[in-house]
Structure 1
């Protein structure tokens, strides 16, 4: 019979060891680097937050390891398969003010003044956000995902695979395409278009924004999608 001491040690080991995570999950390290199974640091990364995809990890504030993306800034990669890195290595800081596009979205969309982690004003930790997808009020930045209204994978499948890297980075960081929402709904949505997913609330506003971004970037619909989108707009935007 196992002693109480041995049983306690086994219990602690099981809790402390992330054995429940499948090997193909993305690991966000404590330094917010997103590692997939191709990363040399994947097996060495023991303390991490698991994600189902690289896009989820990057959209939650992570970034790629250095030299992980060798695609030059202006090069077209139309023969490549979709990956989040085709749209840049996480959130961009185009004006170099230390606030990347995730932080700028959090600042702009908070209905009360935000608080930062330090006096430098780079990282937002709290504020007050009313999710446009549910109406829920969220106070912790860590509980928010910045949703791409037009998902990047969806954009890729509808013409962005032919774009330059610069244009893909633009749509990934365009404030018009970014909304502060609860992580659960963002991940429920995934890469779905209007014909596959709508938020629980403010559906007409969501449809209008999706279509505005889609048309701004010239993303094309198939014949069947045109019919479906028209029916959806008629149903929800009377």
Structure 2
């Protein structure tokens, strides 16, 4: 006997599949909350976090300036070969607040690079809300801090692959928060760049300025400056 689905049954099946796919997708993304905390699906606050910026991985969220929920740690791989693999945590758990003034290095970079007065999220003046930034990567004027990523000019993974794997943890944290290596740019271009070196990616504008800065940082930290293309 052949069973034929009625139109209402087909509609119900379609809605069920759509809902299942949406639920699966929602739980695969990492949520950066307005308070700057990265919640993956294992976080107790994951489902309660409604206002957030989505990321594909926990490391991407930490790279963008987020921090782990209190008491949560990144699971470490047990194999000895994993010790030489890049992980964001090798450079610290997100942005550091080295002077304990509640402004981590992301927000200090936003303040330093704003060409106008910044405003804060609240009276504590820890989190920047607005300012006036001109992206070196595009020349565009940006006022909303939530659409800005702080880019590591020399990406952390690129640094790891070119010598930072032999550094102490303290030196890697210093590198990850060095203002010379931090640029306020639009999130879209920072994520397009990813961990690519200057031979694979350069910004749409100001390429010579970008290459000069990349080379200066590579020389400072002895990270294969000979691999930086000439301008």
TM over 0.5: yes
Q: 1:51: how far off?
A: 1.2
- Of structures 1 and 2, the one scoring higher in RCO (CA 8 A, sep 6+) is 1
Of residues 38, 41, 44, the one that matches 2:43 is 41
1:78–1:212 Cα change, 3 Å: farther
Of residues 25, 36, 45, the one that matches 1:20 is 25
Give, in whole Å, the separation in 1 of the partners of 2:179 and 2:222.
Answer: 17
Q: 1:214: how far off?
A: 0.8
Given that 1:146 and 1:178 are in contact with CA atoms closer than 8 Å, whether structure 2 keeps it comes out as yes
Q: Deviations over 1:98-148 (max 9, x none)?
A: 110000000000110100111221110001100000001111000000000
Given that 2:65 and 2:150 are in contact with CA atoms closer than 8 Å, whether structure 1 keeps it comes out as no
Q: 1:101-112 maps to which residues of 2 (within 5 A)?
A: 101-112=105-116
**Bigger radius of gyration among the two:** 2
Secondary structure of 1:79's counterpart equals helix
Q: Deviations over 1:160-182 (max 9, x none)?
A: 11111100000100000000000
- Structure 2 partner of 1:74: none
Given that 2:133 and 2:142 are in contact with CA atoms closer than 8 Å, whether structure 1 keeps it comes out as yes
Q: What is the TM-score normalised by the length of structure 1? A: 0.78
Q: 1:35: how far off?
A: 4.3
Q: 1:41: how far off?
A: 2.4
Secondary structure of 1:180's counterpart equals strand
Of residues 141, 147, 154, the one that matches 1:150 is 154
Aligned length, in residue pairs:
213
Q: What is the TM-score normalised by the length of structure 2? A: 0.80
1:22–1:98 Cα change, 3 Å: closer
1:54–1:20 Cα change, 3 Å: closer
- Structure 1 partner of 2:73: 68
Structure 1 unaligned regions, length at least 5: 72-76
Structure 2 unaligned regions, length at least 5: 1-6
1:105–1:162 Cα change, 3 Å: same
Secondary structure of 2:130's counterpart equals strand
Q: 1:32: how far off?
A: 3.5
Give, in whole Å, the separation in 1 of the partners of 2:88 and 2:40.
Answer: 12
Given that 1:29 and 1:49 are in contact with CA atoms closer than 8 Å, whether structure 2 keeps it comes out as yes
CA RMSD of aligned residues (A): 3.1
- Structure 2 partner of 1:211: 215
